[in-house]
Amino acid sequence: MSASVSHELNNIMTIILEKSGLMADLAWAMGNGRDLNPERVREIGDSFSRQARRGVELLKHFNHFAHSVDDPSVTFELKALVENIARLAERFAALKKLDMKTELDEAGLNIHGDPFSMRHIIFMCLEAAMAPLPPGGLITISARGAGDDALVHISAAPATETGLPRDIAVLALELARAQGAHLDVTHGADAVVMTLTIPRGAC
C-alpha cells in the first residue's frame, strides 16, 4: 500500500514539476516581448489545482489508513472505512484497467473492533476479486446493516472460469474468522460476490 501511494504521489509531483517548468518558460517568453496567452495560463493554473487536490485527498486517505493501527479496539464508522480502503485500492484497479464503484449510502453504521484488520480483510477481498478479471471488468463494493451485523459485499464481474485465487481467499477467510467475522463466496452466472459479515459489537 505504501509503495502504491508513494508511486501515485510521485506521479502527481512530476506533473506539478512539468507545469512549473512550463510556467517558467512562459514567464521567460513574456520577459522577451512575447504576448502572454491568458487562456494558457488559466489551463496551467487549473492543472496545478487539480493535482494539488488529488494529492491532498490521497494523503488524507493514507493518513487515515496509517492511523488505523493506533487502537485495535475502537468504534468506527463502516462507510468511512470502506470508502478509505476503496480509494487506496483504486490504483490497483486502474493498473489492471478495471472499473471500481462504491455503493455506500448508509452512513452511521458503527462497528466495534479492529479498524486496521478490517481494512486488511476488505483489501484482500478486493485483491482476490481483481485477480481473475480481464480489462474492462467491474468491481462493486457495497455495505449495509443487517440487524446486529454489518455486511460488506464485493462483486467482481464478469464471472470467470479461473475463479478467485485460492491462497488470497483462504487467508482472507482466516483473517475474518480471527476478527469474529464470516466470509462467504457466491459464484453466480454474471459475477462472483464476496460477502463479509461483521458483528457490530458493543457500539
Per residue in 134-152, pLDDT (tens digit) is 999 999 999 999 888 999 9
Residue with cell 475463479: 163
Per residue in 151-200, pLDDT (tens digit) is 999 999 998 888 888 888 889 999 999 999 999 999 888 999 999 999 98
DSSP structure class, residue 107: -
| Rounded average pLDDT over 29-54 | 85
Q: What is the pLDDT of residue 203?
A: 47
Burial of 194 (0-12, 13-18, 19+ CB in 10 A): buried
Taking the mean position of all CA atoms in its chain, how far away is CA 19? 27
CA dist 1 → 6, 110, 140, 147, 170 (Å)? 9, 25, 20, 33, 20
| Rounded average pLDDT over 121-135 | 94
Contact in structure between 165 and 135 (CB atoms under 8 Å):
no
Q: What is the pLDDT of residue 106?
A: 67
pLDDT, mean over the chain: 89
